[in-house]
Structure 1
Amino acid sequence: MDVRQLKALVTVAEVGSVTRAAELLHLVQPAVTRQIRTLEQELGVPLFERTRQGMRPTEAGAIMVDRARRALNELERARAEVRPAPGVVTGIVTVGLLESTAELLAEPLVRAVARDHPGIELRLMTAYSGHLQQWLDDGDLDLSLLYNLDSTPSLNARPLVREHLWVVAPAAAGLRADRPVPFAEAAAHPLVMPASGHALRALIDAAAGRAGAELDVAVQTNSMRVQKQLVLAGHGWTVLPGVGIAEDVAAGTLSAAPLSEPDVWRSIVLATPRSGRTPPAVQVVARELVQRIRTEVTGGRWLSARLQETDATEQ
């Protein structure tokens, strides 16, 4: 098993065609076919099946593709780390951003890293907290923002921000930041909710229990963008963190107010793996991300957020 075989395996799986994979790898088609067959003979199992839609990995093939992709990524990262210019931090860093924070943080983070550390290649992944935590545990992320997480045996969690959850409605509802809405009042409306199993949904359900309120769930979705679209279209109210609605409220497309009775908060942490060494590039990006968060909170662009981090430079 060698790197060429792994590249062939991953490329065929991604494009679904030996012919197209050969073009991308700058090889002739028989060479790619031979690499796949040699790998199958070594493993003793078929890795692909031919369908009308193209080459599709078998169950064993899917496992190998996943592992091969990670191995190739690690080799790429190692090459980037061991070829630095004197005094320059280099490397590939994959960062997880909560979907609700991406609009506020992604571009400033990319700009700061490109300006101050041009030898670092950033890769940004956005998702909900549960998915990001799984990717971090699997080794697909170097660091990630998560919420309502304490340190675990596999992850270090550094508290950064505590933020209020808001009830969000169409602009005509006239909700205001200076007039908190009791949870029971919000629950009297049909609600567009995060899907069951989502960490934000767990926070909302727990608050409903404390308020003694029964939720009228009109629709569930796993997309914050869809939540806001459905509210705008009049399908109900919703509950979101302030960072996810600041621009909508400022533009007047939605109205929002902090939840009260009870107040509902989430805590955002910076999570990093406990195992293995932390490359200098990852340390640099972690510091830049924390600094971006501090800048946004102190600048008032992160609604109802309070900093919890006392030392933005510690690692």
Structure 2
Amino acid sequence: MDIRQLRAVVTVAEVGSVTRAAELLHLVQPAVTRQIRTLEQELGVDLFERTGQGMRPTQAGAVMVERARRALNELERARAEVQPAPGEVTGIVTVGLLESTSDLLAEPLVTTLARDRPGIELRLMTAYSGHLQRWLDDGDLDLTLLYNLDSTPSLNVRPLLRERLWAVAPASAGLDGGRPVPFAEAARHPLIAPASGHALRSLVDAAAVRAGSALDVVVQTNSMRVQKQLVRAGHGWTVLPGLGVATDVARGTLSAAPLAEPEVWRSVVLGTPRSGRTPPAVDVVARALVRLVESAVTEGTWPSAHLT
């Protein structure tokens, strides 16, 4: 098993075609086919099957692709770290951002690092907290924002802030950020909610119990964008961090207000792996991200948030 075989397997899986993979790898098609067949013979299993839609990994092939991609990423990181210019911090850093924070933090983080640390290659991933935590545990992220999480045997957690959750409604509802909405009032409307088991959904369900309110969940989704889209279309209300709807409220496409009776809060933390050394580039990016978060809270661009 060698690097060329791993690259061939990953590339064919990504593009679904030996011909296209050969073009991307700057090889002739028979060379790519030979690399895959040699690896299959070594492993004693088929890694791909031909379908009408192209080359599709088998069950064994999917496992191999996942592990090969991770191995290739680690080799890229090693190369970047051991070949720096004198006095320059270099490396590849993969950062996870909560979906609700990406509009506020992604561009400033890229701008800051491009200006101050051009030797760092930044990779950004956005998702809900549960997905980000799993990717961090699996080694696919170097650091990530998470919420409502304490340190675990595998993760170091640094508390950053607490933020209040808001009721989000169509613009015609006329919610006002200066007038909190009782939870019971929000619960009287059909609810577009994250899927059961999601951390944000758990906060909403717990608040409903405290308020003595039954929820009428009409749609469950794992996408904040879809939540807001369905609210705009009049299918119901939803609950999101104020940061996630600040732009929509400013544009007049949604209305929103903090929840009350009870208030509902979430804590945002920075998570990093507990095991292994922390590369200098990861430390640099972590400090830059923390500074951006603190500035957003102190300058008031992160609604209903308080530093911890």
**Could you say which TM-score interval applies, normalised by the shorter chain?**
over 0.9
**Identity among equivalent pairs (%):** 81
In structure 2, the partner of 1:313 is: none
Aligned mates of 2:14, 2:61 — CA distance in 1: 12
In structure 2, the partner of 1:194 is: 194
In structure 1, the partner of 2:157 is: 157
User: CA offset at residue 298 of structure 1?
Assistant: 1.0
User: CA offset at residue 4 of structure 1?
Assistant: 0.5
> Secondary structure, in 3 states, of the residue corresponding to 2:37?
helix
Aligned mates of 2:208, 2:136 — CA distance in 1: 31
> Secondary structure, in 3 states, of the residue corresponding to 1:245?
helix
TM norm structure 1: 0.96
The one-letter code matched in structure 1 to 2:307 is L
User: CA offset at residue 230 of structure 1?
Assistant: 1.1
- Report matched runs for 1:242-253 at 5 Å: 242-253=242-253
The superposition leaves residues 255-309 of structure 1 with CA deviations (integer Å, 9 ceiling, x where unpaired) of 111101111000000000001000000000000000111111111111100011x
Aligned mates of 1:106, 1:252 — CA distance in 2: 23
> Secondary structure, in 3 states, of the residue corresponding to 1:286?
helix
Aligned mates of 2:211, 2:246 — CA distance in 1: 26
User: CA offset at residue 2 of structure 1?
Assistant: 0.5
Aligned mates of 2:286, 2:184 — CA distance in 1: 39
In structure 1, the partner of 2:129 is: 129
The one-letter code matched in structure 2 to 1:19 is T
Aligned mates of 1:18, 1:229 — CA distance in 2: 39
User: CA offset at residue 193 of structure 1?
Assistant: 1.1
In structure 1, the partner of 2:261 is: 261
> Secondary structure, in 3 states, of the residue corresponding to 1:74?
helix
User: CA offset at residue 51 of structure 1?
Assistant: 1.1
User: CA offset at residue 205 of structure 1?
Assistant: 0.4
The one-letter code matched in structure 2 to 1:33 is T
User: CA offset at residue 110 of structure 1?
Assistant: 0.4
The one-letter code matched in structure 2 to 1:75 is L
In structure 1, the partner of 2:93 is: 93
In structure 1, the partner of 2:225 is: 225
The superposition leaves residues 76-103 of structure 1 with CA deviations (integer Å, 9 ceiling, x where unpaired) of 0000000111111000000000001001
Moved over 6 A (4+): none
In structure 2, the partner of 1:177 is: 177
In structure 1, the partner of 2:53 is: 53
The superposition leaves residues 191-227 of structure 1 with CA deviations (integer Å, 9 ceiling, x where unpaired) of 1111212111111001001111000112121111111
Aligned mates of 2:37, 2:185 — CA distance in 1: 64
The one-letter code matched in structure 1 to 2:305 is A
In structure 1, the partner of 2:143 is: 143
Aligned mates of 2:254, 2:52 — CA distance in 1: 47
Aligned mates of 1:162, 1:224 — CA distance in 2: 19
Structure 1 residue runs of 5 or longer lacking an equivalent are: 309-315
In structure 2, the partner of 1:235 is: 235
> Secondary structure, in 3 states, of the residue corresponding to 1:196?
coil
User: CA offset at residue 242 of structure 1?
Assistant: 0.8
The superposition leaves residues 10-53 of structure 1 with CA deviations (integer Å, 9 ceiling, x where unpaired) of 11111111111111111111111111111011111111111111
In structure 1, the partner of 2:276 is: 276
Aligned mates of 1:20, 1:255 — CA distance in 2: 48
> Secondary structure, in 3 states, of the residue corresponding to 1:240?
strand
The one-letter code matched in structure 1 to 2:163 is E
The one-letter code matched in structure 2 to 1:136 is L
Greater Cα shift, 99-108 or 170-179: 170-179
In structure 2, the partner of 1:312 is: none
Aligned mates of 1:76, 1:143 — CA distance in 2: 18
The one-letter code matched in structure 1 to 2:104 is L
Aligned mates of 2:227, 2:50 — CA distance in 1: 39
Residue 112 of structure 2 is aligned to residue 112 of structure 1 = yes
The one-letter code matched in structure 2 to 1:43 is L
The one-letter code matched in structure 2 to 1:120 is I
The one-letter code matched in structure 1 to 2:279 is P
Aligned mates of 1:49, 1:170 — CA distance in 2: 48
Structure 2 residue runs of 5 or longer lacking an equivalent are: none
Aligned mates of 2:232, 2:303 — CA distance in 1: 20
User: CA offset at residue 142 of structure 1?
Assistant: 0.2
Aligned mates of 1:17, 1:178 — CA distance in 2: 56
Aligned mates of 2:52, 2:245 — CA distance in 1: 44
